[in-house]
Amino acid sequence: MIQKRSKAKVSYDELLAENRHLKRTSNALGAWQVARDLVKYGAFVCIAWIGKDWVIALAGKETTANIGVDASVDAGLDVTVGVDQYLIPVLVALVLVFFLWANAERKLRQSTVLRLQSRIQSLEKLVDPGRTTSGLLPNGETRREDD
């Protein structure tokens, strides 16, 4: 990636290198978006799969449904789950997946800001040489003393 550009023309090799870098970044971003969509829509499929059993159990019957998780423990430590034995593990897995996803998104955003910040600063200086800094860290976060 080209860090600093002057008024002189950029060489063909530099343009090719930047183009290759942009293609790699685009491919990685595309793969990340596919993975993100699989998690997002997989959650809807999982919820529908669990909900299907509830609808089938209640369909065509005159029933009073008490929707909730009934965990009772007696002296023998037998645990019975009333709604669905897979509900709690699925919810915990979803929370874990979304936590990891949010963490990965944050790291990706920070690395992108870090990668692009020097170029953006140099372009902004070309437009307005009197421009002052915002005081943000290179990765885009605020300074600790500003909190």
Question: pLDDT for 9-30, tens place per residue?
Answer: 778 888 888 888 888 888 888 8
**Span between the terminal Cα atoms of the chain, in Å:** 33
Q: Is residue 2 part of a domain?
A: no
The pLDDT, as a whole number, for residue 75 is 47
- pTM, rounded to two decimals: 0.39
pLDDT of 70 over the 70 cut: no
Q: How confident is the model at residue 73 (pLDDT cuts 50, 70, 90)?
A: very low
Neighbours of 138 (CB within 10 A): 12
* Helix, strand, coil % in the chain, rounded to nearest 5: 60, 5, 35
As a whole number of angstroms, the distance between CA 136 and CA 142 comes to 5
As a whole number of angstroms, the distance between CA 20 and CA 28 comes to 12
Residue 46's domain spans which residues?
12-146
The pLDDT, as a whole number, for residue 5 is 52
Helix (H) or strand (E) holding 28: helix 12-58
Q: Is residue 85 part of a domain?
A: yes
| Number of domains comprising the chain | 1
Q: Is residue 17 part of a domain?
A: yes
Of 46 and 7, more confident: 46
Q: Is residue 32 part of a domain?
A: yes
Of 68 and 135, more confident: 135
CA nearest 32: which of 109, 115, 93, 99?
Answer: 109
